[in-house]
A = this chain, B = another copy of it.
Amino acid sequence: MTTHKPLRADAQRNREALLAKAREVFDAGDFFDLRFDDFARLAGVGTGTLYRHFPTREALAEAVYHEEVATLCDRARQLQATLPAAEALATFLRGMVDHIDAHEGLARTLATLMASGSGTMAEGSRALEQAVTDLVAAAVRDGTVRDDVDAGAVMMALHGIGAAHDRPDWRAEADGVITLVLDGLRRSHSGDGQREHEQESVVDQSGVP
């Protein structure tokens, strides 16, 4: 499952070198300030080789992203197995912030790619999303979390956290978002009948009058 095509020993080595260098450059946050050709040199391979292994910047990013996501998913599963659902969710989300904080360069890179990319790294994201969905679902099942808000909303909030890395006091605000989300997720505040987000059309909405 890890290797879907039998690569030649040679090719395998180059691919590895590329990925290793990519991780390095990602973490430094220099990914977009670097000519793609130069990146090949940096990794010690020719331009052609780089392009054969990873046809685009995005393809390379996705490959790196994959491992990153795998780590996070493992953590999610581990937490889910050892803590009460609500706590597992909370811990995971808090940990997520730590993680993004620790790998700012990577977060920046990914945010950029997600925003501009046309649905790239969809697969990698899907895995992470599944993990979050599972955590939320478990918490819903044991009654500590409301069931009328999709887990996707949580993903969206996380997305915002990752994308806004450059705000002056990112850390405090990121923690704030998590706090809001977690408290917002708690089961019904005013008794029981929590009305859906009905949205009564507000005022005039058209941008230009």
Flag if A205 contacts B95 (CB, 8 Å).
Answer: yes
- Determine the residue in chain B with the shortest Cβ distance to A187: B189
A182 cross-chain contacts in B, Cβ below 8 A: 184
Q: How many residues of A contact B (CB 8 A)?
A: 64
- Mostly, the A contact residues are helix
Report if A21 contacts B (CB, 8 A): no
A127 cross-chain contacts in B, Cβ below 8 A: none
- Of A102, A201, A207, which is in contact with the most chain B CB atoms at under 10 Å from its CB? A207
CB within 8 Å for A176 and B205 given contacts A114-B163, A163-B159, A184-B182? no
User: Which of B98, B157, B203, B208 meets A78, CB within 8 Å?
Assistant: B203
7 pairs of A and B residues whose beta carbons are closest in the complex: A160-B160, A153-B176, A180-B184, A184-B184, A115-B115, A183-B184, A152-B173
